[in-house]
Structure 1
Amino acid sequence: MLLTRRKLGTAGLILLMLIFMVILSGCGKKSNAEIVPGKVNVVTSFYPIYEFAREIGGDEANVTNLLPTGVEPHDWTPRSKEILNTSKAQLFLYHGAGLEGWVPNFLKGLGSDAVVKPVEVSQGVSLITAEGDDGHHHGEEAAEHEDHNEGSEAAAESSHHIDPHTWVSPKSAKIIAENIKNSFIEVDPDHQADYESRYAELAKKLDDLDAKFSTELAGTNKKEIVVSHQAFGYLCRDYGLTQHAIMGLSPDAEPRAQDIVALSKTVQEEGIQYIFFEELVSDRLAKTLANEAGVKTLVLNPVEGLTKEQEKNGENYFTLMEKNLQNLLLALQ
């Protein structure tokens, strides 16, 4: 009996040791999951850059997105683990133009021995400046962007802020995609033809989307939209629309009472039938304004990230932008 117990005890100990080794090996794999030897390891700051980098990088790239699913990018900040993993990658692709207020400190935290090449992918986009406070003090990063973009002196004025939501227009998204392609070629010139080929496919899809927005929005009777968050400046500029935002450039910049009153008046004067809201931020103010003005609500997605449900359903930049177009056509008829 004693021998049997001893045998069971030994067997149990061996089993426990095996389980412990499996757990340890699992932990090791998990901590290094972001870096894959033999591939171009790329870290992106938020969803649209992640999607474009995966399309262009193809099999040659291992792309990791910093921003978790379902999180709005304006208020997210990285942890030390993200800084460590990024320092081991070949590319860190971020948007810039003031979107990620954490980037300057993040870049300093990478350390002088880091091999990663940081790339601001909005370079070359003709930037829009907007009046009012964006709710985040992004001046440092925005000012750095301005050194590379001409004709935006107004952005230096304290009452003006750069609108960072460039990717919401397919025209600007194509510039971003080209910058991503060029960054891949710079760190991995041996696969230039592959990157060029995949970029050409992505650029064609963006051109087709651009043409569809141009053609279909040109035929609408109305041109004014009311949105919860001032994220559609580039879309409006490129397709002849005007946005009226309940909140500022940041989705948590609280509006003043007189702003709501003025917007309610605009809704009535312009015959606006829909107030647009977003899925990643609260729809409270949009629904309040809609109730006051006696109108309906619709989704207009700034494509800053996917919800968990959208990710599960295989949604992407193009499917979300197609839905945006259909909702715009409904609201502007």
Structure 2
Amino acid sequence: MRGLRYCAATIILILIILLASCNLDNHDSVAEKENITVITSFYTMYEFTKQIAQDQVDVQMLIPPHVTPHDWDPAPKDIRAVQDADLFVYSSEHFETWVPNIDKSLNNSKTRFVHASEGISLLHGDETDGHHEHNHDHAIDPHVWLSPVLAQKQVENIAKALIEIDPNNEPFYAEHRDRYLEQLQKLDEEYRETLRRVTKKEFITQHSAFGYLANEYGLTEIPIAGLSPSLEPSASQLAELKKIAHDHEITTIFFEDLSNPKTAQTLANEIGAEVDVLSSLEGLTKEQQDKEHTYIDIMRLNLKALEKSLK
């Protein structure tokens, strides 16, 4: 009898140890997942990272989606968030101009900085600007994500960094990377097919953000202002733009969804044109957030707007 009790006690003890071991393993795997934190700079970098990582890691966005990155600088809490992250994903120091200063200040941090535009040849503002008389200061045009082809390169760079920091989950990241790349390739095909059929090639924008897109699909962007959306044209520049619009039969002036359309509206009024939105995907409006629009959704809306204006 005593032997039976001893055996029973031993079996119970073994079961307790096994259950405790299972719980510990589960706890460890959750802890490992929660320990990987990725901070992204602005909306598109967040979207690309989230498409690859899904819920496998904690992905956060530094710049609120309704805020224009051009008007944003990191606060101390933002710098701390970067310092505490495993990865910090940004497009380039030519867009997130504050990145080099943070990088220097965190020289002992474990955070790995992921330059999503690495390997992409960036263009000067006057190379993407059909309106050369604006006297650009040869600033670099950072808006590479607006080309679906270059967006694929950024996605590949982000996926590579995720795999390097979390190699155990490489098959998961690779699968979602490839799935998203297929969607971006389809988007590129839609742009090529649609814009091949348009009769006009020139379009006027309020801000020089669409040079890479224009170059990719054989179009010419004519910006009212330069690479800075806050610049306003002089009277002589407006007169020149009126002539260009007349010569190329341009009937739509584009402005960006997070910017004030005042400058675009002024030119439109001068030439009897209408205004329309081309999103630079630097952030999301409240309406876009409410509709849960994605990068691909908004790029398709951009394509529709371009097609309408160029027919």
TM-score by length of 1: 0.79
Choose which of 105, 114, 118 in structure 2 pairs with 1:119: 114
Q: Determine whether 1:209 maps to 2:187.
A: yes
Equivalent position amino acid for 2:60 in 1: T
Aligned residues, how many?
273
Equivalent position amino acid for 2:273 in 1: V
In structure 2, distance between residues paired with 1:202 and 1:37: 22
In structure 1, distance between residues paired with 2:173 and 2:301: 29
In structure 1, distance between residues paired with 2:309 and 2:180: 29
Runs of 5+ unmatched residues, structure 1: 1-34, 133-157
Contact 2:33 2:57 in 1 (8 A): no
* Deviation readout 1:288-323 (Å, 9 max, x if unpaired): 000001111111111111012211110110111000
Q: Determine whether 1:83 maps to 2:79.
A: yes
The residue number in structure 2 matching 1:104 is: 100
Secondary structure in 2 matching 1:38: helix
Secondary structure in 2 matching 1:247: coil
Secondary structure in 1 matching 2:121: coil
What are the residue-to-residue correspondences of 1:235-246 with 2, within 5 Å? 235-246=213-224
Report deviation, 1:36: 8.9
Runs of 4+ in 1 over 6 A off after TM superposition: none
Equivalent position amino acid for 1:177 in 2: V
The residue number in structure 2 matching 1:310 is: 288
In structure 2, distance between residues paired with 1:214 and 1:39: 42
The residue number in structure 1 matching 2:23 is: none
Choose which of 229, 238, 248 in structure 2 pairs with 1:260: 238
Runs of 5+ unmatched residues, structure 2: 1-30, 128-135
Equivalent position amino acid for 1:102 in 2: W
Equivalent position amino acid for 1:47 in 2: Y
In structure 2, distance between residues paired with 1:96 and 1:122: 6
The residue number in structure 1 matching 2:130 is: none
In structure 1, distance between residues paired with 2:40 and 2:235: 38
Higher mean C-alpha displacement, 170-179 vs 53-62: 53-62
Equivalent position amino acid for 1:166 in 2: V
The residue number in structure 2 matching 1:151 is: none
Choose which of 159, 162, 173 in structure 2 pairs with 1:195: 173
What are the residue-to-residue correspondences of 1:135-146 with 2, within 5 Å? none
Contact 2:93 2:99 in 1 (8 A): no
Report deviation, 1:224: 0.3
Look at both structures and tell me which one has the larger radius of gyration over its CA atoms: 2
Equivalent position amino acid for 1:115 in 2: K
Contact 2:232 2:263 in 1 (8 A): no
Choose which of 203, 220, 237 in structure 2 pairs with 1:225: 203
Contact 1:97 1:163 in 2 (8 A): no
Equivalent position amino acid for 2:162 in 1: F
Q: Determine whether 1:129 maps to 2:129.
A: no
What are the residue-to-residue correspondences of 1:255-294 with 2, within 5 Å? 255-294=233-272
Equivalent position amino acid for 2:192 in 1: S
Secondary structure in 1 matching 2:34: coil
Contact 1:87 1:111 in 2 (8 A): no
What are the residue-to-residue correspondences of 1:51-90 with 2, within 5 Å? 51-90=47-86
What is the RMSD of the two structures over their aligned residues, measured on CA atoms? 1.6
The residue number in structure 1 matching 2:46 is: 50
In structure 2, distance between residues paired with 1:73 and 1:192: 32
Report deviation, 1:37: 5.9
Contact 1:247 1:255 in 2 (8 A): yes
